Amino acid sequence: MRIDIITVSPELMKSPFEHSILKRAQEKGKVEIHFHDLREYAINKYGKIDDYQFGGGAGMVLMMEPIDKCLSQLMQKRKYDEVIYMTPDAPSLNQQMANSLSAKENLIILTGHYKGVDQRVRDKFVTKEVSIGDYVLSGGELAAVVLCDAVIRLIPGVLGDETSALTDSFQDNLLAPPVYTRPADYKGMKVPDILLSGNFPKIDEWRHEQALKRTRLIRPDLLEEESLDE
Ligand code: 6GU
């Protein structure tokens, strides 16, 4: 997979890709990340990329031209599966979206800033709009990093068996069950006996029950979603 990220703040975004699983995914050749600093496509020598909004109101809007120049250049070179715009006024990222994006070849991610981008960018270029939840961030940069992490770890071969995505929370619309490690008794706080029993069918059953219990308690909406699918 190749991901081209268009942003006003590449430096804000780079470090998460230089550690842990995102770093390993690149080293293994599973994903290439290319940053494009929107400022390099400015409309004048002073680096202008944004302007006041028509109709008045606080906050600057990213202009059509710099984004058009950057996107057109990329889209000339290869075919992109999606041009994703990160914005709070969009459907929320979920595991299903991450799964489907992880199967794509070439993605562009455009991150908003200030008041966002001129609507004509969204109308002309953007094929998918993604929010990461119902709260407002100062910009789309951190949200884009979240999206990349969720997607890249699902690319086949990125995770080893030890970190398999199959047992993640949400993969089956359930939260993950509790986990424990040594010691079995820490100052009187004991690990559930079932996990020490060696009876793996029973352990699976227990984990599933715990997952259901947690989901019912914390995120009952996930169980309702599941029944809608059926
Ligand atoms: Cl994608 N951008 C911003 N600025 N805030 C957000 C968001 C995105 N998703 C949730 N909040």
pLDDT tens-digit readout, 82-127: 999 999 999 999 999 999 999 999 999 999 987 899 999 999 999 9
Q: Is the predicted pLDDT of residue 144 greater than 90, yes or no?
A: yes
The DSSP element (H or E) to which 2 belongs, if any, is strand 2-7
Are 65 and 121 in contact, with CB atoms under 8 Å apart?
no
Within a domain: 158: no
CA distance 214 to 170: 12
Question: Domain check: are 11 and 93 in the same one?
Answer: yes
Range of weakest confidence among 89-103, 140-154, 165-179: 165-179
Pocket residues: Cβ below 6 A from ligand 1: 86-88, 112, 131-133, 135-137, 139-140, 143
pLDDT category, 226, cuts 50, 70, 90? low
Determine the average pLDDT of the residues in 186-197. 98
Where in the sequence is the domain holding 11, given as residue range(s)? 2-152
Question: Domain check: are 114 and 173 in the same one?
Answer: no
Q: What per-residue confidence (pLDDT) applies to 114? A: 77
Question: Domain check: are 82 and 126 in the same one?
Answer: yes
Question: Domain check: are 83 and 195 in the same one?
Answer: no
CA distance 67 to 40: 10
The DSSP element (H or E) to which 11 belongs, if any, is helix 10-14
Question: Domain check: are 27 and 140 in the same one?
Answer: yes
- Ligand 1 centre and the CA of 133: distance in Å? 7
Determine the average pLDDT of the residues in 162-167. 70
Pocket test for ligand 1, best of 130, 132, 141, 146 (most atoms within 8 A of CB): 132
- The residue among 105, 122, 152 that closes a domain is 152
Contacts of 42 (CB under 8 A, 6+ apart): 48, 49, 66
pLDDT in tens, 34-72: 999 999 999 999 999 999 999 999 999 999 999 999 999
**CATH code (residue 62):** 3.40.1280.10
Q: Is the predicted pLDDT of residue 230 greater than 50, yes or no?
A: no
Q: For the chain, how many structural domains are there in total?
A: 2
